[in-house]
Amino acid sequence: MEAQPPGGPAAPDPSGCPKDSDRQLRLRLCVLSEILSTERDYVGTLRFLQSPNALLTIVVVYLNPTVLVLATSTVQGV
């Protein structure tokens, strides 16, 4: 086994490495999943806002806010 130069990297602890690297991989996967979910939501929102139905919905609700109340109560079965 070679000696490490002064100030060089320390030898890894064989007992702690797998546990730490597994935890780091799980955390990275969690972060990447969260980023992907956020991007999908963002793209879905953009697609909706670009659709003709979104513009129609916005105009109808702006011109007549009771339509939103009626539509909501119809969906809820009230």
Rounded Cα–Cα distance for residues 70 and 78 (Å): 9
What's the CA gap between 57 and 67, in Å, rounded? 10
57 belongs to a structural domain: yes
Residue 2 lies in a domain: no
Residue 8 lies in a domain: no
Residue 10 lies in a domain: no
User: How far apart, in Å, are the Cα atoms of 5 and each of 9, 10, 48?
Assistant: 8, 9, 60
Q: Name the band, by pLDDT with cuts 50, 70 and 90, for residue 78.
A: very low
Q: Rounded CA gap, 50 and 42, in Å?
A: 12
pTM: 0.46
**pLDDT of the residue at 32:** 97
Domain count, the chain: 1
**Does pLDDT of 76 surpass 70?**
no
CB of 61 closer than 8 Å to CB of 67:
yes
Q: Domain limits at 51?
A: 21-76
